[in-house]
Copies of this chain bind each other. A is one copy, B any other.
Amino acid sequence: MNTNESGGLRERKKVATRESLSAAALRLALEHGPENVRVDDIAEAAGVSPRTYNNYFSSREQAIVAAIAAERALRVGAALRARPADEPLAEAVIEAVVEQYGAGSEPTGDALMLITSTPGLRAEFVDTVAGIEQPLAAAIAARTGSDDELGIAVLAAAVSAAARVAVARWVRPAQDTQPMGLVVVSSRPLADLLREALAHLTPALTFPTR
């Protein structure tokens, strides 16, 4: 039945509510500055109650970043599954992560300005990278056929950690901030940083223990 395939009305309304809330949070943050966004305002703009807002998000930063990072982490698993089956695991993982987080996928313009505007938003954006861990573990397990659950979890966690280091390096404030306290990202493309960071894990992904 159609409702099972795409999820029913309830499921679609749930997704729509979440998207409406994060879109409202982002718009209000861009209009008034992230520190001036109020939960009551976000909820009202999305047409739900503040309590419902908290059913979906535990902080303002989480809601704002959700509109920017939008399930990117979840797509890493799908990207890895889509890599050629005969490609070495290390390369496949690197390209899957770079595809979702670099090479044209990184935030730009107003969104980038926003996530680097406060420590809280920067930290939340960096934290969203951790979301790749579970989908990646599932995709690695499917790809390798390995039943070493701990080993797979460790490799996925290491990749997630390396990606987080690269993203943190990319968004961290420059040592000497620009005039007016402007914060800019690293001049290096995120794809470069990701590849360099993940290259250090190539040996671990290439020579599995056992």
CB <8 Å contact, B157 and A169: no
Against B, the Cβ 8 Å flags (1 = close, 0 = not) of A155-181 are 101101110111001000000000000
**Cβ 8 A contact of A154, one of B150, B154, B157, B165:** B165
A129 CB to nearest B CB, Å? 11
Number of identical monomers bound together in the oligomeric complex: 2
Q: Which residues of B contact A166 (CB under 8 A)?
A: 150, 154
Q: What are 17 A-B contacts with C-beta separation under 8 Å? A: A150-B165, A150-B193, A154-B162, A154-B198, A155-B200, A157-B158, A157-B162, A157-B164, A158-B162, A158-B200, A160-B161, A161-B161, A200-B208, A200-B209, A202-B209, A203-B206, A204-B204
- Mark A residues whose CB is within 8 Å of B: 150-151, 153-155, 157-158, 160-162, 164-166, 169, 193, 196-204, 206-209
